[in-house]
Amino acid sequence: MAWTDSRFDRQIRFVHLGAAGQERLEAARVLIVGCGALGGSLAMQLVRSGVGQVVLADRDVVELSNLPRQVLFSETDLGRPKSQAAQAALQKIGGPSRIEAHDVHVDADVLLELAPRAQVILDGTDNLATRYLINDYCVSRHVPWIYGGVVGSSGLVLPVLPGVGACLRCLFPAPAQVGSLESCQTSGVILPAVQLVSSLQAGACLRLLAGKAGGSEPEAPRLTMVDAWSTEVRSVSARRDPACPCCGMREFPFLDAPTENAAVALCGRNTVQVRPQSKSQTDLARLAERVRAIASAVRVHSGVLEFQVEEFHLRVFPDGRALIEGTEDPARARAVYDRYVGS
């Protein structure tokens, strides 16, 4: 292969990879759900490693508070959809990777569209609902995925290999109650913790993609807990639960539930995402003209319409989604959306 003799020379010398493993990386396709802190670091590591196709999906835009820990973005990206900004940064790296960017909220319909042909799905999300959806999809289709979560200085990593070890619901049968877990808002987060968790995720991903070139048959994965501040590392066996509702009983409620036109509060953001009642493209230029008489700071930037109205800052995307900053109340955000964007 043209790339392997020079660009990836040091990787090929790694005994568990070799030329055969590098060829498998270049033939692989990976889906990364979320391309902020974890997802951006994961994408950078996979592209620099020569993974052939890297698919990015993210619903958010770049904000100033992202820059201390989201490695693909700079101040020039502020207000730009994260998937687009990440794609632009990754393409500058060069190499064989082909990068797809999807500025979408990943629900069941979107996952069913983007996930086929992906050998591995990587978790770069910031919410439990999407993780349980990914778990349902991957167990039902027998696709490996790698969970990662980070808050403060600590994080968790779990490779989920359907049929080999535990799935997410073996360990955590149901999502925790809202407000019961630490979050980035309450406990903050530091870049070393993000990099530590994403590196463990990326390493597990490369081993899976390299296949037999990467070692023996897959072992039952372990749940790894790390702390970048105390330098503590713990690892425990992640055994399958025969009574697990997902991989044991084959129930997939997060995947099978009808896709709702929901309003969802974003973690630690005083922002709610609202989706339209029907799937159709939005004429942002026309909407901008319509709200200009009643709103301030109206502009279309990087394919996103922004404007200020009442005490809210709205960002409207071409697919009709909107991020409404200034409230954590989904019902109120839905009302603001219907008033200024349309039902």
Q: Domain of 292: which CATH number?
A: 3.30.310.10
**Do residues 238 and 316 both lie within one domain?**
no
Determine how many CB atoms are found less than 10 A away from the CB of residue 249: 11
**Do residues 252 and 320 both lie within one domain?**
no
Contact status, residue 224 vs residue 235, Cβ threshold 8 Å: yes
- What is residue 216's predicted lDDT score, i.e. its pLDDT? 47
Question: 50: domain CATH number?
Answer: 3.40.50.720
**Do residues 153 and 30 both lie within one domain?**
yes
CA distance 308 to 218: 52
Q: Where are the beta strands (DSSP E) in 36-165?
A: 53-58, 98-103, 120-123, 145-151, 154-160
- What is residue 159's predicted lDDT score, i.e. its pLDDT? 97
- What is residue 49's predicted lDDT score, i.e. its pLDDT? 97
243 found inside a domain: yes
CA distance 109 to 125: 17
CA distance 89 to 86: 5
CA distance 305 to 215: 49
β-strand 120-123 against 145-151: which pairing, if any?
parallel
**Do residues 221 and 336 both lie within one domain?**
no
**Do residues 84 and 133 both lie within one domain?**
yes
- What is residue 319's predicted lDDT score, i.e. its pLDDT? 86
Residue 279 CB burial class (10 angstroms; 0-12, 13-18, ≥19): exposed
**Where do we find the tokens 């922004």?**
306
**Do residues 235 and 292 both lie within one domain?**
no
**Do residues 33 and 115 both lie within one domain?**
yes
pLDDT in tens, the chain (343 residues): 455 568 999 999 999 999 999 999 999 999 999 999 999 999 999 999 999 999 999 988 898 989 999 999 999 999 899 999 999 999 999 999 999 999 988 989 999 999 999 999 999 998 788 899 999 999 999 999 999 999 999 999 999 999 999 999 999 998 875 555 666 655 789 999 999 999 999 999 999 999 865 444 456 789 999 999 999 999 999 999 999 999 999 999 999 877 655 777 776 678 999 888 666 678 899 899 989 989 999 999 888 999 999 999 999 998 888 999 999 888 888 888 888 887 5
- Among 256, 274, 309, the domain-final residue is 256
Residue 12 CB burial class (10 angstroms; 0-12, 13-18, ≥19): middle
Number of folded domains in the chain? Answer: 2
Residue 93 CB partners (closer than 8 Å, separation 6+): 44, 47, 48
> Catalytic amino acids?
184
H or E element, residue 207: helix 191-210
**Do residues 179 and 242 both lie within one domain?**
yes
**Do residues 167 and 270 both lie within one domain?**
no
- What is residue 34's predicted lDDT score, i.e. its pLDDT? 95
- Among 223, 256, 289, the domain-final residue is 256
2 found inside a domain: no
- What is residue 260's predicted lDDT score, i.e. its pLDDT? 59
β-strand 271-274 against 98-103: which pairing, if any?
unpaired
Tokens, residue 66: 């992202």
CA distance 184 to 192: 14
Task: State which residues form the domain around 74.
Answer: 9-256
- Among 199, 229, 256, the domain-final residue is 256
